[in-house]
Amino acid sequence: MKSRLLRVLAGMLSAGTLALAGSAWAVNTASVTATVSGSALSVSGSASTSGLPSGSYTATVTVTDSSGQTVISGSNAFTIGSSGTMTLTTVDGSTYSSGMTVTTTAPQICGSYANASDVSVGYIAVMNGDTPVRYQIIAPGTGNSWCANIVLDPGSNVVYAGYISVSGAPVYASARLTLTNGATNVAAGSVRIQLTWDQANDMDLWLYAPSSAGATATTSSSSYISYQDTSPSWGQLDIDSRPISNGGYGPENITVNSFPTKPGKYLIVVNAFSMDSAATTNSVLTVYTGAGQTLRSASFALTRTGQNYLMGYLNVAADGTYAFEALGSFAGEGGGQIVDPPPGYVAPPKN
* Per-residue pLDDT at 150: 79
pLDDT in tens, 8-39: 444 444 333 332 222 233 333 444 444 444 55
Buried b (16+ CB within 10 A) or exposed e, 28-66: bebeeebeeeeeeeeeeeeeebeeeebeeeeeebebeee
Q: Bigger pLDDT: 92 or 317?
A: 317
pLDDT at position 319 is 82
pLDDT tens figures, 238-278: 877 766 555 567 778 898 877 776 889 999 999 999 887 67
Residue 70 has pLDDT above 70, yes or no: yes
Q: What domains can you pick out in the chain, each with its CATH number?
A: 84-181 (2.60.40.10), 191-339 (2.60.60.30)
User: What is the reported pLDDT for 126?
Assistant: 81
5 sits in which H/E element: helix 2-15
**d(C-alpha 160, C-alpha 68), whole Å:** 45
Model confidence over 199-236: pLDDT tens digits? 878 899 999 999 999 999 999 999 999 999 998 888 88
Residue-level pLDDT at 266: 94
In this model, does residue 82 exceed pLDDT 60?
no
What's the pLDDT tens digit per position in 143-191? 778 877 777 777 788 888 887 777 766 566 677 778 887 665 555 558 8
Cβ pair 307, 341 in contact under 8 A: yes
